[in-house]
């Protein structure tokens, strides 16, 4: 068995590839023995980013890399990752001081506290510039207004460096309506700015004249009731539902989405269940070589309450991302993949809260009613208390093409509470079963969740030493989650 372990990254200059630096655990492989045991296999990692498992068995084996647990019989596995932005970026600050000067504000007046977005594709950076003072009504310009430059992507903030070719798109948003009572925020004007470098303690000077961006219009039918129909199949504990639409740019390609770089349009939470025809208009200031994707998130909120806590929730549901070229009145938004059916844990309905009988349960399910998944992932989330809030930490993703998977030893710990979410993925053209990080460049993908009730592991087991799990390293969980546009 052989594989690839490269990191592909995209900058404003070119695409590059280099061997990935594995985390401390590296790549581990195991043969599955009768009785549920695991026998370690040899993993030989080469300097060019390839690896081999010379003693891999002819049938299924188990591959572990960070939070990914891959059960496969493939003779070739691609663990390549994909990122937007240069790899030599220096660490920056989540929030830093700035001043904003902008001419040619939209008539008749600018929003008192406008949404101003800063995007650098060379860094994979997305930020908001938040003014500290209101803009006077009727103003056509603001000059040297104090502001806060707040980075929200990537998870670890980075620093602009003019010497490395970094520049920014500064975009402003206006509030609009579809005419059916659905309000959204859309890019209206923009300017670009280069020659900026971030220096700690020195305000970043953002300055330019706003230009009108190229207009875009989307019209499509939204069959919302068909998504809502799967509410109880996603979770029996749903407290409420909400939907979101977002149009996002795809830097330097219409066919690959290497990283999130802000929004062109986004809605706030939308309530209701009726089917509608929607019309969105927005501006796009980016180069013609860039693409666009439309994402629908049909979310169901589930409250989480460990003893002694008073708040906490998790969002699950159905999501669909499509290239703009696939969006039209002739192609309605309806579920392309629906949740796995009849999920059980050790033969008992997964939506029944209880204490498990072991630390290595078996999760089973039936195929979705709609769509043929390219792969299933069982996401294992540990619940814990943070003050009076219950939080969920994703500790493992068990990947398989089968309709069952064993939770391997070492993932669950005694006396803890977990959620098991079976996620069905539809990824045309990419086999996530053998290319598990391939979602990091997809523009065409849909997924659906089926989540268990909170399930508790036995507090004490003979021969098992109780210990808290080692939490995944920063970024490991995010790497296996699909890109999610961030609503402001």
Give the Cα separation of 455 and 420 in Å (integer). Answer: 8
Judge whether residue 486 has pLDDT over 50. no
Q: Where are the beta strands (DSSP E) in 89-163?
A: 95-103, 116-120, 125-131, 141-153
Number of neighbours of residue 359 by Cβ within 10 angstroms:
18
The CA distances from residue 481 to 67, 440, 477, in Å, are: 11, 9, 7
Q: What's the rounded mean pLDDT across residues 257-265?
A: 94
What span, in angstroms and rounded, lies between the C-alpha atoms of 387 and 385?
Answer: 6
Q: Are 487 and 266 in contact (CB under 8 A)?
A: yes
What are the phi and psi torsion angles at 294 (to 5°)? -110, 130
Q: Would you give the DSSP letter of residue 347?
A: T
Q: Count of CB atoms within 10 A of residue 263's CB? A: 26
Structure tokens belonging to residue 141:
């310009």
Cα 434 to Cα 360: distance, rounded to the nearest angstrom: 24
How far apart are alpha carbons 366 and 303 in whole angstroms? Answer: 26
* Mean pLDDT, residues 138-156: 93
The pair of structure tokens assigned to 147 is: 């502001």
Q: Which residue has the higher pLDDT, 384 or 475?
A: 384
Strand 81-84, strand 6-10: pairing: parallel
Does the pLDDT at position 466 exceed 50? Answer: no
Structure tokens at 224: 């919302």
Residue 304, pLDDT score: 96
Dist CA 170 CA 319 (whole Å): 29
C-alpha span between 34 and 346 (Å, rounded) = 18
Lowest mean pLDDT among 6-20, 87-101, 170-184, 413-427: 170-184
Instruction: Name the nearest CA neighbour of 482 among 444, 450, 453, 431.
Output: 444
Mean pLDDT, the chain, rounded, equals 92
Question: CA-CA distance, 379 to 418, in Å (whole number)?
Answer: 10
End-to-end CA distance of the chain: give it in Å, rounded: 45
Q: Which residues pair with 309 in a beta bridge?
A: none
Using the predicted structure, report yes or no on whether residue 50 has a pLDDT greater than 70.
Answer: yes
Confirm if 138 and 108 have CB atoms less than 8 A apart.
Answer: yes
pLDDT score for 181: 76
As a whole number of angstroms, the distance between CA 285 and CA 167 comes to 14
Hey, what are 160's tokens?
Answer: 């602009």
Phi, psi of 171 (to 5 degrees): -120, 145
Nearest-angstrom CA–CA distance, 269 and 139:
30
Q: What integer is the mean pLDDT of 425-441?
A: 92
CA–CA distance from 421 to each of 149, 351, 482 (Å)? 36, 11, 15
Residue 382: name the closest of 317, 474, 449, 452 by CA.
Answer: 452
Distance (Å, whole) CA 190 – CA 39: 58
pTM: 0.93
Is pLDDT at 121 greater than 50 in this prediction? yes
């Amino acid at each position: 068995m052989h594989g690839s372990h490269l990191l592909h990254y995209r900058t404003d200059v070119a695409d590059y590839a280099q061997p990935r630096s594995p985390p401390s655990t590296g790549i581990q492989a195991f043969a599955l023995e009768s009785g549920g045991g695991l026998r370690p296999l040899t993993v030989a990692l080469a300097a060019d980013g390839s690896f081999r498992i010379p003693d891999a068995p002819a049938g299924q084996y188990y591959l572990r890399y960070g939070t990914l647990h891959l059960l496969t019989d493939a003779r070739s596995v691609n663990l390549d990752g994909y990122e937007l932005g240069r790899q030599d970026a220096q660490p920056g600050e989540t929030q830093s001081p700035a001043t904003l000067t902008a001419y040619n504000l939209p008539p008749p007046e600018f929003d008192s506290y406008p949404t101003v977005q800063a995007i650098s594709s060379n860094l994979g950076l997305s930020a908001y510039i938040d003014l500290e003072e209101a803009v006077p009504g009727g103003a056509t310009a603001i000059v040297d207004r104090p502001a806060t430059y707040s980075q929200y992507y990537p998870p670890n903030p980075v620093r602009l460096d003019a010497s490395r070719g970094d520049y920014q798109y500064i975009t402003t948003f206006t509030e609009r309506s579809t005419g059916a009572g659905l309000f959204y925020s859309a890019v209206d004007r923009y300017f670009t700015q280069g020659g900026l470098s971030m220096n700690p303690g020195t305000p970043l000077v953002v300055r330019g004249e706003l230009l009108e961006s190229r207009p875009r219009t989307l019209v499509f039918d939204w069959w919302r009731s068909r998504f809502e129909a799967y509410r109880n199949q996603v979770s029996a504990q749903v407290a409420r539902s909400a939907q979101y639409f977002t149009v996002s740019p795809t830097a330097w390609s219409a066919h690959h989405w290497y990283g999130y770089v802000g929004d062109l349009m986004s809605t706030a939470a939308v309530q209701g269940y009726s089917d509608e025809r929607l019309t969105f208009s927005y501006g796009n200031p980016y180069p013609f070589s860039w693409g666009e994707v439309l994402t629908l998130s049909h979310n169901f909120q589930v409250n989480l309450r460990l003893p002694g806590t008073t708040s906490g929730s998790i969002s699950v549901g159905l999501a669909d991302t499509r290239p703009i070229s696939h969006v039209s009145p002739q192609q309605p938004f309806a579920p392309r993949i629906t949740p796995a059916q009849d999920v059980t844990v050790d033969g008992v309905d997964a939506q029944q809260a209880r204490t498990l009988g072991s630390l290595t349960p078996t999760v089973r399910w039936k195929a979705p009613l709609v769509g043929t998944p390219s792969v299933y992932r069982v996401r294992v989330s540990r619940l814990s208390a943070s003050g009076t809030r219950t939080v969920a930490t994703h500790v493992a993703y068990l990947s398989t093409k089968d309709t069952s998977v064993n939770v391997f030893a070492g993932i669950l710990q005694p006396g803890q509470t977990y959620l098991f979410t079976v996620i069905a993925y539809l990824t045309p053209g990419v086999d996530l079963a053998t290319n598990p990080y391939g979602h990091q460049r997809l523009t065409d993908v849909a997924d659906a969740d089926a989540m268990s009730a909170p399930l508790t592991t036995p507090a004490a087991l003979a021969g098992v030493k109780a210990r808290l799990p080692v939490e995944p390293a920063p970024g490991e969980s995010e790497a296996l989650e699909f890109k999610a546009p961030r609503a402001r």
